[in-house]
Amino acid sequence: MVRIDGRDDAMVTRLEGSEEELELAAWEALAGVHDPEIPPLSITDLGIVERVRVSHGSVDVDLLPTFAGCPALDVIREDVTAAIEAVLPGRTARVRFVYAPPWTSDRITPEGREALTRYGLTPPARGPSTPMIPLASLRRVEGGAACPFCGALDTVLESAFGPTLCRSTHYCRACRNPFEAFKPKAAR
Amino acid sequence: MTAPEDPRVGLLLSIADDELVMGHRHSEWTGWAPHIEEDLAFSSIAQDEIAHARLLYELAEPLTGRTPDEMALGREPREYRSSWLCERPNGDWGYSIARQFLYDTADAVRLEALTASSWTELGDLVKLMQMEERYHLDHGRAWFERLSAGPVTGRQRLADGLSAGIGEAVALFEPLPGEEGLVANGVLPRPTADLLSEWLGAIGEELEAASLDFVLERHGSSSGEMVPTSSGEMEGEEQAFSAPGVARREGRWIHEGGFSGAGGRFGRHSEDFLPLWEEMTGLFRAHPGARW
């Protein structure tokens, strides 16, 4: 591997190397791209990077959109292209959104869940989907999300819909604060 | 493109144009819904529906040679394949909720069928759509249950909305152009008549459980349900109605033929479509090629 600037950090520019090394460099670059709607969360921790393939003149990146109508997709595409082409100059980044397998919130990494909590957004419940009812003002749903402010579980879901497609709105009975969570999975 | 040459395009557009037009109508609640949670709900549902339309237009692009923007905004009115139900103005809140409930329950039936499509790209795309549509279904059903339980005014407005929408909801399942071929090659795994039967049977049971099944017999501009008012008088009046072609046979609601408000799948639209089209496509037509 040739390191053209001789630095030893992760963002060093790679011209050549084994396929594995170049792909690793690409993944490291992607870890530096963040969701513009949830700034502390990288797209790798969000789990939307499905595949990276480095070939002679190009880097193909397959991304899984969280929600089809997410307005951040265009920004993410541009940021991914810039990040890849910065560490692998001379190669064209080709970003593709693919829909199989569908993204689910189970793809968020433990680091991603921590980042969400620090940001004040409760991470979604893991595993099989729990019954989710959207309008707690109509039918109150107990629990399900821990309050990001006080940690209490004495919370109710107010609505499955929130300020962005990927957020739901909740209320904490313990500290009496409204809060947002990463949208829970819908029950089948 | 008065009639799509490839029946697959007609199939994709029947869903995509419904989603686009329904999304446009839902988005008209942004800033106007009765409370802020509903403002967010309708705005979010609109965003999902329009995104689904875009994905379907993308899938159709190799067949149509037109970009998603050109498909969504650059066609003549007769080229759209939306159903009349989706085209109607929002009107009363009760109608909007009733229509969202009717539309999304019907949409769920056709999407579930398409997960088994021999066209695997369509099947994959539909599975993604379903994950988001579940929130819409829950929203419609929660309101259906809440309003049908009363109080009287809310229940009446829901019933009026269901009465006004049920006939055109049945017409969502009008046969598609070239349907026989689509079914034969497995692109459409089940005929529309079969999907209608499934949806109508299920919705009939839900309406019966809420004692609202009278809307299936007396649909039209007003349900005419007799309801006691606070003064003890009976409100509601009988209205002329035309049969939507549904009947109850051996404990189950079935479709016996005939549609009201059909024609959308062949480019024939309700009188409400043209004003909607003019507004929806106005910017695109005034500034061809503009990006925003």
Mutate to test the interface with B, among A103, A161, A171, A188 (most CBs of B within 10 A): A161
Q: From A97, A118, A139, give the residue that closes a domain.
A: A118
Range from A121-125, A145-149, B2-6 carrying the lowest mean pLDDT = B2-6
- Establish whether the linkage from the previous residue to B151 is cis, with ω within 30° of 0: yes
Residue B240 pLDDT level (bands cut at 50, 70, 90):
very low
Mutate to test the interface with A, among B131, B145, B147, B158 (most CBs of A within 10 A): B131
Contact A68 B134 (CB under 8 A): no
pLDDT at residue A131, rounded to an integer: 46
Residues of B in contact with A135 (CB under 8 A): 37, 41, 139, 142-143, 146
**The tokens 């079969």 sit on which residue?**
B194
Whether B100 has a pLDDT exceeding 50, the answer reads yes
Do A72 and A82 share a domain, yes or no? yes
Do A26 and A98 share a domain, yes or no? yes
Sort B151 into a burial class: Cβ within 10 Å, 0-12 / 13-18 / 19+: exposed
Phi and psi at residue A99, in whole multiples of 5°? -120, 0
CATH fold for the domain made of B7-221+241-286 = Ferritin (1.20.1260)
Residue A185 pLDDT level (bands cut at 50, 70, 90):
low
Do A74 and A159 share a domain, yes or no? no
Type of residue numbered B185: N
Is residue A132 in a domain? yes
Residue A127 pLDDT level (bands cut at 50, 70, 90):
low
Residue B135 near chain A (CB below 8 Å): yes
Its domain, for residue A128, covers 120-182
Do A26 and A114 share a domain, yes or no? yes
Is residue A77 in a domain? yes
Do A78 and A94 share a domain, yes or no? yes
Contact A160 B47 (CB under 8 A): no
pLDDT at residue B289, rounded to an integer: 79
Residues of B in contact with A183 (CB under 8 A): 135
Please, where are the H alpha helices in chain B?
7-27, 36-64, 68-73, 84-87, 93-114, 120-148, 152-170, 179-184, 192-209, 214-217, 273-286
Is residue A38 in a domain? yes
ipTM: 0.79
Contact B40 A99 (CB under 8 A): no
Question: Using the 8-state DSSP alphabet, how is residue A161 labeled?
Answer: -
Q: From A93, A118, A143, give the residue that closes a domain.
A: A118
Report the number of distinct structural domains present in chain A. Answer: 2
Do A162 and A87 share a domain, yes or no? no
Q: Which helix (H) or strand (E) holds A117?
A: helix A110-119
Residue B278 near chain A (CB below 8 Å): no
Q: From A118, A135, A165, give the residue that closes a domain.
A: A118
Tokens of B188: 């459409």
Do A126 and A153 share a domain, yes or no? yes
Is residue A61 in a domain? yes
- The residue that leads in pLDDT, A8 or B78, is B78
Do A102 and A130 share a domain, yes or no? no
Q: How many angstroms away from the CA of A60 is the closest CA of chain B?
A: 20
Is residue A175 in a domain? yes
Do A4 and A84 share a domain, yes or no? yes
Nearest to B128 among A68, A132, A185 (CB): A68
Distances (CA, A) of B65 to B2, B59, B161, B267, B288: 15, 11, 39, 19, 17
Do A113 and A27 share a domain, yes or no? yes
Contact B40 A169 (CB under 8 A): yes
Which residue spans within chain A are E strands per DSSP? 34-35, 38-42, 49-54, 58-63, 92-97, 121-122, 155-159, 167-172, 178-182
Type of residue numbered B37: E
What is the spatial distance between Cα A78 and Cα A28, in angstroms, rounded to a whole number? 17
What is the spatial distance between Cα B173 and Cα B244, in angstroms, rounded to a whole number? 13
Do A14 and A107 share a domain, yes or no? yes
Give me the mean pLDDT over the B254-283 stretch: 94
Give me the mean pLDDT over the A155-180 stretch: 89
Is residue A19 in a domain? yes
Residues of A contacting chain B (CB within 8 angstroms) = 67-71, 99-100, 102, 104, 132-135, 137-139, 158-163, 165, 169, 183, 185-188
Residue B209 near chain A (CB below 8 Å): no
On whether the CB atoms of residues B56 and B12 are closer than 8 A, the answer is yes
CATH code of residue A23: 3.30.300.130
If you count residue pairs, one on A and one on B, with CB atoms under 8 Å apart, how many are there? 87
Nearest to B47 among A100, A134, A165 (CB): A165
Range from A6-10, A60-64, A128-132 carrying the lowest mean pLDDT = A6-10
Q: What does the angle CA A150 – CA A155 – CA A161 come to, to the nearest 5 degrees? A: 110
Give the residue from B125, B19, B16 showing the smallest Cα distance to B71. Answer: B16
Contact B124 A165 (CB under 8 A): no
What is the spatial distance between Cα B95 and Cα B99, in angstroms, rounded to a whole number? 6
Angle between helices B120-148 and B152-170 (to 10 degrees): 150
Q: Which residues of A35-57 are buried (b: 16+ CB within 10 A; e: fewer)?
A: bebbebbbbbbbbbbbebebeee
Do A16 and A104 share a domain, yes or no? yes
Contact A169 B54 (CB under 8 A): no
Is residue A4 in a domain? yes
pLDDT at residue A13, rounded to an integer: 57
Is residue A187 in a domain? no
